[in-house]
Amino acid sequence: MDIDELKNRRQFFIGVSRNAVLGLLVAVGAIITVKRHRLLRDGKCINEGLCRCCAVFEYCGLPRALVMKELVAGHKDGRKTQ
């Protein structure tokens, strides 16, 4: 086995490993995205009830988000809320 053959084999395994890790990351990202969309479609909270820092707060129709929107709107209008 000469040096060039060893380099080619090493490059091959490095490339296979790199592509496997990239494929795994893409698969995990896809699973997370699908799960998030399914939870939103089912009307379940995706941010464990932390509404103000949620990415979909503006469009959310869940009861807790609606209450938070009322509180924020009341605070901006100067109305006192409980």
Mean of the pLDDT values across residues 69-78? 73
- pLDDT of 25 reads 98
CA distances (Å), origin 37, targets 4, 43, 66: 49, 10, 20
Whether the pLDDT of residue 76 is over 70: the answer is no
pLDDT tens for 11-58 read 999 999 999 999 999 999 999 989 888 877 777 777 776 777 777 777
Structure tokens at 79: 């109305």
Instruction: Identify the pLDDT of residue 77.
Output: 61
Residues 5 and 27 in one domain: yes
For residues 20 and 52, membership in a common domain is answered with no
How many domains is the chain partitioned into structurally?
2
Query: Helix H segments across 1-82?
Result: 3-41, 63-77
Same domain assignment for residues 1 and 39: yes
Alpha-carbon span 54 to 52, nearest angstrom? 6
Query: Given this model, what pLDDT does residue 79 score?
Result: 58
pLDDT of 78 over the 80 cut:
no
pLDDT value at residue 80? 56
